[in-house]
Structure 1
Amino acid sequence: LDEALEYDADQLHAHLLLARMSLETGNLNDAEASLDRALRLAEAEDHPPLEIYALKASADLLRGVTDSDWTTRALDMNASYGDIYAIPAHFYVITRRYREAIELLLEAVRIQPDLWAAHAELGVNLLRVNRIAEAMAHLETAYRGDPFSAKIVNTLRLIDSLDNFRDVVRMPEMDEENLGAGMILRLHRDEAEVLVPYVTDLVNDSIRTFSERYGFAPTEPVVVELYPEHDDFAVRTSGLPGIGLLGVTFGYLVAMDSPSGRTDNDFHWGTTLWHEMAHVFTLEATNHLVPRWFSEGVSVYEEWSTGPLPGRHVPMHVLQAVAEDKFLPITDLDSGFIRPTYDGQVMVSYMQAGLICQFIERRWGQSAFVAMLEQYTQGADTATAIEGALGVSPDVFDQGFEAFIVDEFGSVLESLDDWKAQVERGYAAADNADWGAALEAASAAVASVPEYVADGNPYLLKAKAHDELEQPDEAVATLESYWSLGGHDAGALKGLARRLDERGRRADAIDVLDDLLGVVPLDSELHVELGDWLMAEERAPEALREYRAVLALNPYDQAGAHYRLATAYRQLEDAAKTREHLLYALEIAPHYREAQQLLLEIAR
């Protein structure tokens, strides 16, 4: 655009596009300058100024002026110009102020009923606040006017697919404190029976934790939607399939992939949901005025510090970006999310935001997060929020954060090239079955960057090398370190749990498998093994949950699933339920000897 304007400084549409980009990144002064130039050009060319008026009204809106003179001017010129409301609504949407956007879009379609794009946007945003019937009505209207829109068609199909989901309502009991207004779980009917207890527990834990940490209690039920088809989740968030997000929060509504929505072994649905639940609090506590960077930063920080997956997880390409000095000043960090300038910058911005929050907590304490949120609630920008809550200027803050990064990662950054070389050498040695060399290289890599447990980490290679060299205790110790740092490869952790159990450490083995439910809760074998160990430890209430999950997964051995449930109820001294499940087991397998014997025992 800059080059185009250098060639011809009087291109009206270039100035309008530049203004839109400035508005999206919050650079209101630059936007106003572009719009003033565009207005002069429009007057000189006798071009209708309505779009300029709408963008001027958008700038006023972002400054907190909701009754802009530019709106009045536009309506005086054309009383049916719906975009005077629809265009400003866009800037509410990208700053996640969906309720205000809906009000503007309703006004847009009221004065211009054939503004199909506004009906479509209205439908999508009504879905974001769980007003499904109204969303359907506006999307159907949009479809009648624009039947070829992929966004409209996909969203209507998504709404139709909700017939395959179950809404599970969970309201707090009278004696349950700090649970807000409860939750509505919207889960696919094929998975609901299995997932409900695990999702319920995690949502309740997050509400208790964040209510205490942030002094805010949800005033509406939190809606949590889990989609087994990733493209359905993508349509839910943007109207189009194919996006790479794992979860998104619209306020009191969270949508994300279900555990079956991702085929990779690296998807930890538990930490994703914890991240999104933190957004519920930062968004709603500030009436959605919190900037993107701080909301994401708090969510990432809470993943690391209070979530179900222990440890600080910084991807290797982000460490490389730190080494290349690609972190942004605090007042510019939102642009890394909204207008990235290089591949991978959005993830770099996520991690920078999380590390900034870790720096704030270390320097000023967790209460500083609450002070920052209070600043944003009052309409402060980031510079004002930093000064008001932390008592330093943004420049001084940036200097302190830079020193924090050097303290935390200085030695790691110096070792990055060596780490990469050692990992490559280790895996090459493993390919050649040179396990001594593989162990040496993997051990060196672990020592240089010990926090890294993601894909391609050296821990699993090191454990494998120990096993090949007949050093089983060292292999177990390596896998324990990997697990304690948040490593969650399902195969590796199942193996670790069994080896711990063999060593008489059943309680630790149970903890490993329990953590693994955050990755593969639809694994029937995992539930059986965990349930059996819990029963052996006389922890029948927990075992019952696992055995119920087994039955809900419709296993091949239905009789065995019912028998296990019967044993759990027997330990709980529930004779009626014990008998019920034994009879189910014997109905399926009449000669099931263990079931026959247990039925005789309870009949005596």
Structure 2
Amino acid sequence: MTGPAFPSWPFLIPRRAVALTAAAVVSLALASPAWAQEPDAVKARAQLKAGGYATALAAADEALKQPFSQTEEWFLIRLEVLMAQGMYPEALRTAEQALAHDERSLQIQWAAREVFLANGDTARAEEAVNDIERLMSFRRAGYRDVQSIVVHGKVMILRGADPKTVLTKIFDAARKLVPDAREPQLAAGELALEKNDFALAAKTFQAGLKTFPDDPDFLCGLARAFAPSDRKAMQANLEAALKVNPSHVPSLLRLADHWIDAEKYTDAAELLDRVAKVNPHRPEMWSYRAVLAHLKNDPAGELAARAEALKFYASNPLPDHLIGRKLSQKYRFAEGAAHQRKALEFSPDYGPAQAQLASDLLRLGEEDEGWKLAAKVQADDAYNVASFNLMTLHDAMKTDFATLRNDHFVVRMAAKEAPIYGSRVLELLEEARTKLGTKYGIDIVSPTIVEIFPTEKDFGVRTFGMPDNPGYLGVCFGRVVTATSPSARPGAAVNWESVLWHEFCHVVTLQSTRNKMPRWLSEGISVYEERQADPSWGERMNEEYREMILGGKLTPVSALSGAFLAPPSGLHLQFAYYESSLVVEFIINQYGLGALKSVLQDLGEGQEINAVLAKRVAPMETLERDFAVHAKELAQNLAPALDWEQPEPTLLLPESEEALKTWMRERPMNLWVLQRQAEELMEAGAWAEAKAPLQKLIDLYPGQTGPGSARVLLAQVHRELNETAEETAVLAQVAAKEAAAPDVTQRLMELASASGDWATVARQARRFLAVNPLIATGWKYLAQAADKTGDDTTAITALRTLLALEPPNTAELHYRLATVLHRKGDAEARRQVLMALEDTPRHRAALKLLQEIPRTPSSPAPDPNPTPAPEADPFAPDPAPAVPATPPAPEPAPAAPGSP
């Protein structure tokens, strides 16, 4: 069946030994070219490719009346046309005629198999495969053509042969035999897609397009290969396929799938209507209609559409698998899992449903069953890239991860990181649970599972099934949260505390709505709640967002979810988050938090978002209009006295120097001019003179943030002029607005430490650790501040963490920890001081402390006459912080759930 964008029918045949080895097939494939087609058949194939089904069918009917026509080819054309148009009963009659005419044709046998499946006759489909094996066994010399070799390769896959062997020994060999043959390249690409090897699939289809540049099947296959990673390239290839054949059903279905993801349900429905005009019985088309009915809370429509999908093949697992997969992509994992179970009732060994169900269960927090099923999928299909990656990660987590638990959370993170900031993770999550759960009035299902990954690759595998991560810091599935550790992005400043707060807000809203909410609303509430939790968190209006809003790039609320799917740039993606949060803020400010909570409640009952907004807030048209006005006002009110004009590029040329000076003189309130003046003065070392333009810019634009903001530059000026108090004041303003500015917080710790402002040291240390807790700097300052203020509990935590980081001079840390423990009357003080002496036997202060601590019978006696060692300040930050080594995990060698 043409159009391989979706598996036409599932493989239901039990596995057994393959009758003919790959090597035997290749040995038969001597250099005999495929038989030449008569001109009319070539024209009919061209009509098929272009969607001229009626013309191709008429040509086939006419040719089959001729006594000397190329009967096999014309039967294949007729079958392909009938299947493409959903004329399954007629295709069955034609298949029977074709088999009666030539049952020894492997191509006819394979085409008949698909026809039998389309009509629900799995027994005859199995018989057709048996016949192919029998024919290959007894008439090897008769099947040396490329098409027959490809058919046999497909049969080998059905029978459980190693996919790599089939690719290299069958499809690749057939391709080498006839380099411009279409069938082996198409079959190889389909197999790579089936096994989630998207890189190989893309490579294969791209190679095929060099020979068949306008083939819609290759274009659609390439689009599918790009779908997980590059939606723009996917859309471009689908559009190219539909330009060649506007009736290419696989491309229409793939595009409808995309619009469903983007929540453009009307557009998706229109595409499905186009499919129906070509093939009114296509199971995937009815499956997508069932999805749309489900999302509209139309159970009767959903049942009717599902029934149509199963009309000719009542035990076909594909419709339920497809319905469930799309529901899971909408985060409706429980409903999705239910459909996968239905698919497996029809076909217990249907691999796609098994894999999707395993994924659903893991995202529902049903880990024992989920991991067991994932292991089975991987054992049954070792070549499947997604299942291989997932089980490899599972095995690594069993040995390399630690598990932290309390009444409400299960946190898994790298064993070397858990002792460092694991307790803060639990503390932060508990705080978020209390505040957000109370605010939104929801009893949160416990436990919430949070997994924090030290590499982007592992995060991608656990979250998306593949090691690629399209820029996400965290993802929430309802009860399960995955996130990246600070170590996953070396050199990048990200506030991991704000990320976890954001994701836990998703836990609240997704559970509140039973995962039935549009993406823009879910993301908007999370970003909004970030800002409520900490003024420096979340997205805020800035120069880029102002320009986008005033430049007409505000996305309508009804289309806002689609802005997350294929943004033109990273800036556009961040703007989608910001705009969504603005919509939520607008709703709360205009209609109250109660209205928003009512919206969530109605969504949880299955009501459609536009109807809910009309009932609780305002009709979508009104909301979009009023919000657009509000957003424009916010943009206009960002530094309203500031001149935002940019100079023309020609003014920046060397020969335009005088013209540029004139332009700048005429614009004393211009952002670009003030920044340029300040930068030129600073480059010239005119530090005192640079204050004026910077202070003027701060006065005009007090909300400016970022590494090149006026406040950051002014702090540098004060530092150069040794104006410590002024520098401290400006940096404090920067820190209050920036969620992730470790350089700023470190400088504030240095200044506050020098002045003895220990409260500021402690506060800035915690802000530093919220960005990167895996280096010693923040912990040293926190320990120092706690020691100076008598906060023994914090001092003990900070000192233990420093020891877990294994810095070079551990003796001083053991001694300091012993001092605090002794002050609290903790018997562990003696053990710590002995560890200090073990590293530095002549440590005078440690020896003195040891004499003050009561000796237990098991304690060894110290050396009575050691040579004192010089004392050092253990709280002084290292110039180059030590790289964390691997400390003992809180729970040694934890087993991941569902591990064998």
**Corresponding letter in the other structure for 1:512:** Q
Deviation at 1:379, TM superposition (A): 2.2
8 Å contact from structure 1 (residues 540, 568) kept in 2: yes
Does 2:403 correspond to 1:170? Answer: no
Deviation at 1:518, TM superposition (A): 0.5
Between the aligned partners of 1:350 and 1:452, the Cα distance in structure 2 is 19
Between the aligned partners of 2:340 and 2:313, the Cα distance in structure 1 is 17
**Corresponding letter in the other structure for 2:809:** D
Does 2:309 correspond to 1:57? Answer: no
Between the aligned partners of 1:530 and 1:423, the Cα distance in structure 2 is 36
SS in 1 for 2:279: helix
Structure with higher RCO (Cα < 8 A, 6+ apart):
2
Alignment partner for residue 752 of structure 2, among 500, 523, 539? 500
TM-score by length of 2: 0.61
Does 2:799 correspond to 1:564? Answer: no
Q: 1:438 to 1:307 in 2, by over 3 A?
A: same
8 Å contact from structure 1 (residues 375, 388) kept in 2: no
Between the aligned partners of 1:291 and 1:89, the Cα distance in structure 2 is 18
Between the aligned partners of 2:344 and 2:836, the Cα distance in structure 1 is 60
Does 2:721 correspond to 1:476? Answer: no
Q: 1:601 maps to what in 2? A: 852
Between the aligned partners of 1:150 and 1:430, the Cα distance in structure 2 is 54
8 Å contact from structure 1 (residues 114, 145) kept in 2: no
Alignment partner for residue 288 of structure 1, among 515, 525, 540? 515
CA offsets per residue over residues 237-256 of structure 1, 9 Å max, x none?
11222321000001111110
Q: 1:446 to 1:121 in 2, by over 3 A?
A: farther
Deviation at 1:27, TM superposition (A): 3.8
Q: 1:115 to 1:567 in 2, by over 3 A?
A: same
Deviation at 1:189, TM superposition (A): 0.6
Q: 2:793 maps to what in 1? A: 541
SS in 1 for 2:717: helix
**Corresponding letter in the other structure for 1:86:** H
Q: 2:250 maps to what in 1? A: 13
Alignment partner for residue 39 of structure 1, among 246, 264, 276? 276
8 Å contact from structure 1 (residues 312, 451) kept in 2: no
Between the aligned partners of 2:445 and 2:375, the Cα distance in structure 1 is 31
* Aligned pairs for 1:91-170 within 5 A: 91-144=326-379, 146-163=381-398, 164-170=400-406
Q: 1:10 to 1:519 in 2, by over 3 A?
A: closer
Percent identity of paired positions between Structure 1 and Structure 2:
25
Deviation at 1:566, TM superposition (A): 1.6
Task: Name the count of aligned residue pairs.
Answer: 588
Alignment partner for residue 488 of structure 1, among 731, 737, 740? 740
Alignment partner for residue 460 of structure 2, among 228, 231, 234? 234
Identify the range of structure 1 (245-254 vs 462-471) with the bigger mean alpha-carbon deviation.
462-471
Between the aligned partners of 1:93 and 1:420, the Cα distance in structure 2 is 48
Q: 1:419 to 1:147 in 2, by over 3 A?
A: farther
SS in 1 for 2:772: coil
**Corresponding letter in the other structure for 2:723:** Q
8 Å contact from structure 1 (residues 61, 68) kept in 2: no
Deviation at 1:376, TM superposition (A): 1.5
SS in 2 for 1:167: strand
Identify the range of structure 1 (406-415 vs 146-155) with the bigger mean alpha-carbon deviation.
406-415
**Corresponding letter in the other structure for 1:578:** A
* Aligned pairs for 1:65-464 within 5 A: 65=298, 68-144=303-379, 146-163=381-398, 164-171=400-407, 182-243=408-469, 244-307=471-534, 309=536, 313-314=540-541, 316-340=543-567, 344-390=571-617, 392-412=618-638, 415=642, 416-417=644-645, 418-420=670-672, 422-423=674-675, 426-427=678-679, 429-436=681-688, 438-464=690-716
Q: 1:178 maps to what in 2? A: none
Q: 1:107 to 1:516 in 2, by over 3 A?
A: same
SS in 1 for 2:630: helix
Between the aligned partners of 1:146 and 1:433, the Cα distance in structure 2 is 67
Identify the range of structure 1 (487-496 vs 216-225) with the bigger mean alpha-carbon deviation.
487-496
Deviation at 1:454, TM superposition (A): 3.0
Q: 1:532 to 1:344 in 2, by over 3 A?
A: closer
8 Å contact from structure 1 (residues 318, 347) kept in 2: no
Consecutive unaligned residues in structure 2, runs of 5 or more: 1-237, 646-669, 856-900
CA offsets per residue over residues 452-492 of structure 1, 9 Å max, x none?
32343332222111211333222111101101113532122
CA offsets per residue over residues 409-464 of structure 1, 9 Å max, x none?
31427644443554455445544444346444443443343323234333222211
Between the aligned partners of 1:381 and 1:106, the Cα distance in structure 2 is 26
8 Å contact from structure 1 (residues 454, 487) kept in 2: no
Between the aligned partners of 1:471 and 1:285, the Cα distance in structure 2 is 52
Between the aligned partners of 2:568 and 2:431, the Cα distance in structure 1 is 38
Q: 1:592 maps to what in 2? A: 843
Q: 1:420 to 1:149 in 2, by over 3 A?
A: farther
Deviation at 1:371, TM superposition (A): 2.0
Q: 1:583 maps to what in 2? A: 834
Identify the range of structure 1 (66-75 vs 477-486) with the bigger mean alpha-carbon deviation.
66-75
Q: 1:496 to 1:397 in 2, by over 3 A?
A: same
Q: 1:110 to 1:454 in 2, by over 3 A?
A: farther
Q: 1:440 to 1:145 in 2, by over 3 A?
A: farther
Between the aligned partners of 1:580 and 1:309, the Cα distance in structure 2 is 42
**Corresponding letter in the other structure for 1:337:** F
SS in 2 for 1:554: coil
Q: CA RMSD in A?
A: 2.7
8 Å contact from structure 2 (residues 264, 559) kept in 1: no
8 Å contact from structure 1 (residues 139, 156) kept in 2: yes
SS in 2 for 1:68: helix
Q: Give the structure with higher Rg (CA).
A: 2
SS in 2 for 1:187: strand
SS in 1 for 2:638: helix
SS in 2 for 1:298: helix
Between the aligned partners of 1:406 and 1:32, the Cα distance in structure 2 is 33
Between the aligned partners of 1:599 and 1:343, the Cα distance in structure 2 is 58
Q: 1:176 maps to what in 2? A: none
Between the aligned partners of 2:539 and 2:295, the Cα distance in structure 1 is 35
CA offsets per residue over residues 153-185 of structure 1, 9 Å max, x none?
2222111111111111112xxxxxxxxxx1111
8 Å contact from structure 2 (residues 745, 767) kept in 1: no
8 Å contact from structure 1 (residues 265, 490) kept in 2: no
Deviation at 1:601, TM superposition (A): 2.5
Q: 1:144 to 1:426 in 2, by over 3 A?
A: farther
Q: 2:260 maps to what in 1? A: 23
SS in 1 for 2:517: coil
Between the aligned partners of 1:477 and 1:311, the Cα distance in structure 2 is 23
Deviation at 1:94, TM superposition (A): 2.1
SS in 1 for 2:446: coil
8 Å contact from structure 1 (residues 271, 309) kept in 2: no
Q: 1:264 to 1:450 in 2, by over 3 A?
A: farther
